[in-house]
Chain A
Amino acid sequence: MKTWFADIEINEDGSVAECSPCTQDVQQLAERLLVFQKDPKQIPPACFDPVQNAIECGFAAGETEYYSLLQQTCIAATRLKIKNSYSPDLRIIHAVEALDDIDEAANLLAERLGIWYGEHFPEAGMLTENLAKFVAENGLRQDLQQDSQFHETARSSVGMEMDAEDGAIIKAFAADLTSLYERRHVIEAYIHKNMEQLAPNLDEVAGANLGARLISMAGGLQSLSRMPSSTIQVMGANQALFKHLRGKATSPKHGIIFNHPLIKNSHPKIRGKMARALASGLSIASRVDAFSGQLNPAIKEKLDRKVRSIKEGN
């Protein structure tokens, strides 16, 4: 049998019959340890005492040396394993979460800009991204160009006066917000591109945004592919689901997948059926992505057929 420090044969009475200890090279020992962890076949019996055997075997001079080597080896092995544990879908997960964070921050700042600039030029009548761009480019209303469509309205505005100092501050604030929106577009494009490569089927069935969100919520493509379709169907409706499981409510029909146009744009009466069909399509798509990675158009076709039959049935 194999231990982390040696290949060892034991007699029936527990004494060592044969032993070839490894060298004390921590990196080699760590790699050896990981091999056994993956494929634990020749494991020692329950009563086997590795410490005494390692000393008898000549691997270590005493207990102190044994434990010190063991710790170094285990730390090295753990480091290696952590390093190899990152999967490519982690990038998508972080990107999706960054997108959510940006949305939250941008909404907050956009609201502030709306109120702030609204005091000065309420007639501009723009919101969020448009307003941010407008302010970043033009600044205060007295700075508007002659040919601007707002030139006339600006002259008769009821808003309060602001001086150049106010203008500089608010312009810079709007510029920051604009760059945040720009960053959002870049990240979105990045997700689209990566979803096509990482999960082409999920991308086709769910769309890049929803697909990425599903991966992020499941904690990875692998975990998503292991989920039953009923879980995918209600993922994101946790509160409603647990209320239902406690017997206090009807079961939720859809969670995050509600954002899919198939469900969002359907009549409420058939949303439950749609959600079930879509979830099963998503779960098949994620499985094909996780285990083969090849685009299979049959999945989308099958879902489309199902969707047609649901629509015709009603």
Chain B
Amino acid sequence: MKAKTFHENIFTLQQGKKRFLATRNLSPGFEVYGERLVQVEQAEYRIWEPKRSKLAAMLLKKLTSPFTTTSKVLYLGSATGTTVSHVSDIVHKGVVYAVEFSPRTMRDMLPICEERPNIIPMLADASKPQSYANVVEPVDVIFQDVAQPDQASIALSNVQHFLKPGGYLLMSIKARSVDSTAKPDTVFKQQLKTLLEQENSKLELVKKQKLAPFHIDHLGVVVKKTE
């Protein structure tokens, strides 16, 4: 296999005609959720499956990656930490603040946090950013994957409190969680309106892209905070 840089510290591995997205393993020898580990030229890579991760799907769908090796990231909706672990690989000199609401899934994520020094777990409600405001610092990137009916306003309140000027918000909007009966396109439009047409929000849309075929009825969105 051959490793090629895809974005900063994100790689693609080529095997014959097949191409895999991968990140360099921060804790070599350990896999997090049963993903494949591949050794290429003295480095260990973890294969990153787009069907299991909205972020991986977003990257493969050519939404830009705002991550650098030193990024500070606020990750909303970390669940059991599969995608978080890849973000932790990418920003290996930075920090990931991982917010999750469910104690049951957080229980599964704790071992990953103990393995990786740059993940800070928080069992909190992403729609109440004040509850973790005395811990989280201003961040370069906010990634949100919460699948809630008020996704856009949750993202907005976190952006206002934590995102540095010039920072990026990446989010995946799940149409079926917002309204299971409306047409996905209507939902996307309405969510983007909540997100962008706020007075003084200083947000501009960089790119949006549907995540099919990896995730159906999901829209990937990249937004930049100006100033």
Contact = CB atoms under 8 A, between A and B. Distances in A.
Nearest to A86: B103
Nearest to A85: B103
Contacts of B118: 67
B134 A46 contact: no
Nearest to A71: B120
Contacts of B114: 75
B122 A78 contact: yes
A44 B137 CA distance: 10
B123, B134, B161 — most chain A CB neighbours (10 Å) = B134
B119 A71 contact: yes
Interface stretch (B125-133, B195-203, B213-221): B125-133
A230 to B, nearest CB: 16
B123 A40 contact: no
A78 B161 contact: no
Contacts of B128: 40
B137 A82 contact: no
B110 A40 contact: no
A48 B161 CA distance: 10
Size bracket, chain A contacts: 20 to 34
Contacts, number: 77
Contacts of A245: 180-181
B130 A74 contact: no
Decide if the interface of chain B is mainly helix, strand, loop or mixed: mixed
B103 to A, nearest CB: 4
Interface in A246-289: 246
Decide if the interface of chain A is mainly helix, strand, loop or mixed: helix
Interface string B103-125: 10011001001100111111110
Nearest to A54: B137
A33 interface: yes
A37 B131 contact: yes
A37 B138 CA distance: 18
Contacts of A46: 138, 160-162
Contacts of B122: 74, 78
Contacts of B135: 3-4, 33, 50, 70, 74
Contact of A47 (B124, B130, B138): B138
Nearest to A34: B123
Interface of A: 1-4, 33, 36-38, 40, 43-44, 46-51, 67-68, 70-71, 74-75, 77-79, 81-82, 85, 242, 245-246
Given A4-B134, A48-B138, A242-B180, 5 more contacts: A43-B133, A74-B135, A78-B122, A78-B123, A82-B103
